[in-house]
Chain A
Amino acid sequence: MLLVAMRNLICRPLRSTLTAAGLALAVAVMAGLSAFGEGYRRSLDSELSRMGMQMMLVPLGCPYDAAARVLKGRSLEHSLPEAAVLEARSDPAVAVAAPMLLASVPRPAQGRTDLWAGIDEAALQLKPWWDAKAGERWFTDDDSVILGAEAAEVEMRSPGDLLYSPEAGRSLRVVGVLARSGTSDDSLFFVSLRTAQQMFDSPGRITAVAIRLHDPEMLREASGRLQEARGAQVVTMTEMMGAFLNLVGSVRSLLVSVALVAVTASGLIVFNTLLGSVLEQTRDLAVMRAVGASRVQVFVLIGVQAGILTGIGGCGGLLLAALLGPLIEQIVRGMVPLAPSGTLLSLTAPVLARGLGLGLAVGLAAGVYPAWQASRVQPALAMRLE
């Protein structure tokens, strides 16, 4: 039975391939989407937890926007008074309060924007995993600058080199290059907080304060107290995560509806192909009925063809999803806020199973009617058809 079904498919390679390809595309889109959802959550989760903080003090305004920008190392329009750091440090629940001043410096000549971050020693407590690939992992004086791995590559600087900064009005010395961490740190220029305040004309101002608590359980009471700080507001990482996932969720449901259209379309293609193939094989099917095939056997024969097509299409789709994953990721990255730097697509077993299951369901559903039509072919036609 398998042989007869295969032969029929092989003898019409173009049509079989196109059908399987249509299905593959739908499965790929579907698998890619659910993989994206999982991967995004996972990678956001790990990125946020690597930051080693539970909440952030940001200037008044849209807290999520502010937090997202800070997490990416982008500067804000508004700033906080440096006093907010002291206020945070005096709170009993706070273990570490790390101030930072962020500034973006457009370099139109090079067509890029340099991101500068002014930090103080508290940052080291927040990120104990900070590691220098070369040179020092901390500033030696006020003229020191530490480069993220990518920033160092772009600037083509290594420890000991000078880096002239028009903002500072003098040359800074590169004292260290950080090991690649896969976070936004990779593309930053780090200087001491004081230097940054001087460079960017903001004495006594900071962009945000990252806060780690002694105990994450104290999140609610601490955020209640710190909310009172003047000119500042609190964003907790849990809130951030929730807000992002919501946003991502709505992007995703848009994509899912697109994918559903694709899946439906491919279902129709399989349906059309099989129906066409049944029509074309009418004489053969009638002959089979005449030489003793039962209606069930004819039904199974067409069903097997549908099964083979969907099986190939489904597996091809998963392969496609794996191959095209990075491409989809690029597109999607542009559509969601705070795309974490880790991989967004995670093709886990359940994701693969879901994609394949969907493909099989569509393919077989599309095969039922043609198979039923085939089983109704009258054997007497064998005598009359050429």
Chain B
Amino acid sequence: MQPVISALNLSKTYRRGTEQVHALASVSFEIGAGELVAVVGPSGSGKTTLLNLLGCMDVPTSGDLSIMGHPTRGLSERALTRLRRDQVGFVFQHFGLIPTLTVEENIRLPGLFSGKQVKHRAAELCTRVGLDHRRRHRPHELSGGEMQRVAIARALLNEPHLLLADEPTGNLDSVTGGSIISLLQELTAQGLTVVVVTHNDRLAESAARRLVLEDGRLAPSI
């Protein structure tokens, strides 16, 4: 079966004045459909950088990346945006909800940009993450766990094949973090591919596979 992600010698070098930071150095791996993969490693090891590349939010300095069989090399900004919009969902550590919009409007936000009819799907997802009673609330009226559920629902709106999450439990206590972990596990069980950056041991252990980063390099898998 075709891998959801295939990365070959991915490198990312940031320029900070005259200094060069090799955030990622020649990383190669493949991830198949329905996998739950945890990316772990010390702070500054390049985990967020990797996630950004996988989500087409940034382009690698060198190396090749394919998402669902689409090679990303040489794609225009516009094409990358479209690929991101249609294939990838994001969950951020700080939830990234728009404070001026209600729960339901936040979930429907990606539909605004894809121009698809999403009313039904948004309502469905709202139910799915157990926030039916909160539809008309603003983000600041929600708990951290609820906000992260909204973020996950929003990430799923465009029916992506790949869900990327950067420390989704980083701002949550262990109980609410646990419920988010179960939600992610359910999603993988239904065939979604999830790549999650985490410091949370429970989340890392629940992942079928771990990518360990150290100084921008992939350590041999344990």
Task: List 17 interface pairs A-B (beta carbons < 8 Å), by A numbering.
Answer: A3-B105, A4-B112, A283-B96, A287-B97, A287-B98, A290-B55, A290-B96, A291-B85, A294-B113, A297-B113, A379-B57, A382-B57, A382-B92, A382-B96, A383-B93, A384-B48, A386-B94
Q: Tell which of A4, A289, A292, A295 touches B98, judged by Cβ atoms closer than 8 Å.
A: A4
Which residues in B have their C-beta under 8 angstroms from that of A353? none
Which residues in B have their C-beta under 8 angstroms from that of A294? 78, 81-82, 113
Measured CB to CB, the nearest residue on chain A to B52 is A380
Q: Is B190 an interface residue (CB 8 A)?
A: no
Task: Give CA–CA (A8, B100) in the complex, Å.
Answer: 6
Nearest Cβ in chain B — how far from A98, in angstroms? 73
Which residues in A have their C-beta under 8 angstroms from that of B166? 383
Task: Give CA–CA (A284, B106) in the complex, Å.
Answer: 11
Q: Is B51 an interface residue (CB 8 A)?
A: yes
List the 8 closest A-B pairs by CB distance, nearest first: A292-B85, A7-B100, A287-B96, A379-B57, A380-B57, A293-B113, A292-B113, A291-B110
Task: Give CA–CA (A328, B213) in the complex, Å.
Answer: 72
Chain A contact residues, majority secondary structure: helix
Q: Is the CB of A383 within 8 A of B57?
A: yes
Known: A284-B98, A287-B98, A291-B85. Contact between A1 and B112, CB under 8 A? yes
Q: Is the CB of B90 within 8 A of A291?
A: yes
Measured CB to CB, the nearest residue on chain B to A9 is B100
Q: Is B154 an interface residue (CB 8 A)?
A: yes
Nearest Cβ in chain B — how far from A2, in angstroms? 10
Q: Is A62 an interface residue (CB 8 A)?
A: no
Most buried by A among B77, B93, B96: B96
- Interface size class of chain A, counting residues whose CB lies under 8 Å from the partner chain: 20 to 34
Nearest Cβ in chain A — how far from B11, in angstroms? 16
Q: Is B169 an interface residue (CB 8 A)?
A: no
Interface string of A276-291 (1 = CB under 8 A from B): 0000000110011111
Measured CB to CB, the nearest residue on chain A to B77 is A295
Q: Is B101 an interface residue (CB 8 A)?
A: yes
Nearest Cβ in chain A — how far from B139, in angstroms? 11
Interface string of B43-78 (1 = CB under 8 A from A): 000001001100101100000000000000000011
Measured CB to CB, the nearest residue on chain A to B110 is A291
Task: Give CA–CA (A378, B84) in the complex, Å.
Answer: 13
Nearest Cβ in chain A — how far from B68, in angstroms? 15
Which residues in B have their C-beta under 8 angstroms from that of A288? 98, 109, 113
Q: Is A86 an interface residue (CB 8 A)?
A: no
Q: Is B99 an interface residue (CB 8 A)?
A: yes
Q: Is A11 an interface residue (CB 8 A)?
A: yes
Nearest Cβ in chain A — how far from B86, in angstroms? 8
Nearest Cβ in chain A — how far from B95, in angstroms? 9
Nearest Cβ in chain B — how far from A233, in angstroms? 73
Known: A3-B105, A382-B57. Contact between A292 and B158, CB under 8 A? yes
Q: Tell which of A10, A283, A290, A386 touches B57, judged by Cβ atoms closer than 8 Å.
A: A290
Known: A3-B105, A292-B113, A379-B57. Contact between A287 and B85, CB under 8 A? no
Q: Is B174 an interface residue (CB 8 A)?
A: no
Nearest Cβ in chain B — how far from A100, in angstroms? 71
Q: Is the CB of A291 within 8 A of B81?
A: no
Q: Is B179 an interface residue (CB 8 A)?
A: no
Q: Is B114 an interface residue (CB 8 A)?
A: yes
Task: Give CA–CA (A38, B97) in the complex, Å.
Answer: 53
Which residues in B have their C-beta under 8 angstroms from that of A386? 94
Interface string of A9-23 (1 = CB under 8 A from B): 011000000000000
Which residues in B have their C-beta under 8 angstroms from that of A284? 98-99
**Other than the known A1-B112, A378-B57, what 7 A-B pairs have Cβ atoms closer than 8 Å?**
A292-B86, A293-B81, A293-B113, A294-B78, A295-B81, A297-B113, A379-B55
Task: Give CA–CA (A384, B166) in the complex, Å.
Answer: 10
Q: Is the CB of A290 within 8 A of B77?
A: no
Q: Is the CB of A292 within 8 A of B110?
A: yes
Interface string of B133-175 (1 = CB under 8 A from A): 0000000000000000000001100100000001000000000
Interface string of A365-386 (1 = CB under 8 A from B): 0000000000000111011111
Task: Give CA–CA (A4, B113) in the complex, Å.
Answer: 12
Task: Give CA–CA (A87, B58) in the complex, Å.
Answer: 95
Q: Is the CB of B58 within 8 A of A380?
A: yes
Which residues in B have their C-beta under 8 angstroms from that of A3? 105
Which residues in A have their C-beta under 8 angstroms from that of B109? 4, 288, 291
Measured CB to CB, the nearest residue on chain A to B94 is A386
Interface string of A287-326 (1 = CB under 8 A from B): 1111111110100000000000000000000000000000
